[in-house]
Amino acid sequence: MDLLLEALREAWRLLLTGDADVYDVTLRTALITGTSTALSTVVGVPAGLAIALARFPGQRWLVALSNAGMGMPPVVAGLIVSMLLWRSGPFGSLGLIYTPAAMVIAQVVIATPLIIAVSAGAVMALPPTLHLQIRAMGAGTFQYLYLVAREARLPLLVAVMAGFGSVISEVGASMMVGGNLAGDTRVLTTAAVLEVSRGRFGTALALGIILLILVLAIAILLTVAQQRQQRR
Amino acid sequence: MRLRSLIFSIAAIPALLLAACGTAETPKAPAPSATTAPATPTASPTPTAVKSSGKELILATTTSTQDSGLLDVIVPLYEKQTGDKVKVIAVGSGAALELGRKGNADVLLVHSPAAEEAYMKEGAGINRTRVMYNDFVIVGPAADPAKIKGMKDSAAAMKAIQDAKAPFYSRGDNSGTHAAEQTLWKAANLAVPKGQPWYAETGQGMGATLTVALEKNGYTISDRATWLASAKKDQQPILVEGDAKLFNVYHVIPVNPEKFPAVNKTSAEQFRQFMVAKDTLSVIGNFGKDKYGAPLFIAYTE
């Protein structure tokens, strides 16, 4: 119990004093996970719409595959990306291993299947008559996709939030491809792991609390943006 | 550093907004790359900003040098002297040697003599140089159920732990400390008690393993530096120390550039020389003195 109180005090202190390192790590976390969430959304949502709406051979397999991808263990994604980006790997000459860019790549690998699966599910859950109605109004392909996405915007928000949640909270892949380099690839989760291994549990928990605050802030931001859209 | 934070803060804003607007935008965007494409240019300055500053040196090392805080002192010193940028990958000695073996690092700082000699024999490293030492200690619960406190022979202490079937927590991760532990079982003429109910492998770094042993009232072997730097020393005292078998030597090994042309050989050699330079050794020898009353590492070069 003492430890929890101590951690709360430590978190409070770090936030109030605007500790430069913590501030830096928090911003970096926001930037890296924000970028990977954005990229995963750009790829994942259209791909999710496509596999939910298009009719082509092997479509059901793709749905199953993306559903399975939801369970992609971050450490496996990290290992595969590491093997590709290490100097001994096929993309070693790019010099991307142990950079924020490598972390973004690994996080996109983790979040994209999740966003595809959730957004495909969102669109498939729409009432089947809706598709007929839109088609009957004579909508073209793009108008059709736009209207479908509009109808499903709330569950699509959930898809993006799920993708964001998966990358901001994961530690295995970030640790492996980023290397937890101070001032460079150290994010809130990897910093917390380091503090735990150093036996500084108070600081570690403080970092966790800051992470939760960040997630909460972004969830609120997304929800507000979403509801404003809804009212229009 | 300041510049980079600035880039981060500027770049973070659009990234956050993009993330926030992600769904709001998508309905308009069956070909959404048009609206969200700016994400890519926003992201790219980050890696380039990192790369442009001096040469990059990948140092694969053990968790003990990081967990004890030594590298937080040594690495900035080296970066200031040379303008290089060091990427520290802190893993167990076994994993560090493996990174070197594949040419995925430029220089190693490790403490696993037998494994290092095998590594050198394969021709994966050059100019292996002794840097410093500290020692391993056997720590355990203050109650000391195996009655090993004050024993002078560490192998006999291991046998006492086995005889008492007292819980023992092994690193189990091919680290230098794990190798040292296995050597001790051998020195006691015992098989490594893998699979025994009282013997468990954490598979984690030294700091984490000390915590597990503390919580479970078990024994473990730690390098002195990590033990000193970790908390709760009164509940997890040193029980056996000072035996020659507990000697823990660190070597610096540049990865062989002839085998791996991608290796940054200039910086690797520069780092090797830096580690054994007089000034650096005096920093190493004084590290931790003010905080723990004794140095965590002792300079010990050839």
Over the stretch A62-116, which tens digit does the pLDDT of each residue have? 888 888 988 888 999 999 999 999 988 899 889 898 999 999 999 999 999 999 9
Please check whether the two domains, B53-132+250-299 and B135-246, share a CATH topology: yes
Residue B110 has what pLDDT?
Answer: 95
Write the pLDDT tens digit of every residue in A20-34: 888 899 999 999 999
Q: Is beta strand B238-240 parallel, antiparallel or unpaired with respect to B129-139?
A: antiparallel
- Joined together, the tokens standing for residue B112 give 């696993």
CA distance B267 to B274: 10
Nearby residues of B1 by Cβ (< 8 Å), 6 or more positions away? A183
Amino acid found at B117: E
Residue B63 has what pLDDT?
Answer: 86
SS3 B105: coil
Residue A227 has what pLDDT?
Answer: 76
Distance of CA B110 to the CA centre of its chain: 8
Look over chain A and give the mean of its residue pLDDT values, rounded to a whole number. Answer: 88
Mean pLDDT split into 10-residue runs, chain B, 302 residues: 41 39 34 35 36 75 89 94 93 92 94 94 95 94 94 95 95 90 95 92 88 91 89 88 92 95 94 95 92 87 80
The answer to whether residue A36 is domain-embedded is yes
Tokens 């199953």 correspond to A64
- Average pLDDT rounded to a whole number, residues A154-162: 91
SS3 B243: coil
The answer to whether residue A212 is domain-embedded is no
Whether residues B46 and A99 touch (CB distance < 8 A) is answered with yes
CA distance A20 to B246: 40
pTM: 0.76
More confident: A55 or A38: A38
Q: Where are the domains of chain B?
A: 2-46, 53-132+250-299, 135-246
Residue B184 has what pLDDT?
Answer: 95
- Among B11, B33, B40, the residue with its CB nearest the CB of A31 is B11
The answer to whether residue A60 is domain-embedded is yes
Residue A229: which pLDDT band, with cuts at 50, 70 and 90? low
Under 8 Å between Cβ of B101 and B124 = yes
Q: Tell whether B211 is within 8 A of chain A (Cβ).
A: yes
DSSP structure class, residue A82: H
CA distance B26 to A149: 7
Whether the predicted pLDDT of A228 surpasses 90: no
Whether residues B208 and A197 touch (CB distance < 8 A) is answered with yes
SS3 of chain B: helix, strand, coil, percent, to 5: 50, 20, 35
More confident: A231 or A184: A184
SS3 A131: helix
The answer to whether residue A5 is domain-embedded is no
The answer to whether residue A13 is domain-embedded is no
How many angstroms separate the CA of residue B222 from the nearest CA in chain A?
A: 13
SS3 of B110-153: the string is ECCHHHHHHHHHCCCECCCEEEEEEEEEEECCCCCCCCCCCCCC
Q: Tell whether B142 is within 8 A of chain A (Cβ).
A: no
Name the CATH superfamily, with its identifier, for domain B53-132+250-299: Periplasmic binding protein-like II (3.40.190.10)
Residue A56: CA atoms inside 13 Å, Cβ hemisphere, count?
8
Residue A230 has what pLDDT?
Answer: 61
CA distance B295 to B297: 6
Q: Where are the beta strands (DSSP E) in chain B?
A: 56-61, 85-90, 107-110, 129-139, 168-170, 199-201, 220-223, 238-240, 247-254, 298-299
The answer to whether residue A92 is domain-embedded is yes
Report the CATH number that the domain containing residue A144 is assigned in CATH: 1.10.3720.10
Residue A232: which pLDDT band, with cuts at 50, 70 and 90? low
The answer to whether residue A192 is domain-embedded is no
Which domain covers residue A174, as residue numbers?
A: 20-186
The answer to whether residue A85 is domain-embedded is yes
Residue B13 has what pLDDT?
Answer: 38
More confident: A137 or A116: A116
The correct CATH number of B135-246 out of 3.40.50.2030, 3.40.190.10, 3.30.360.10, 1.10.150.20 is 3.40.190.10
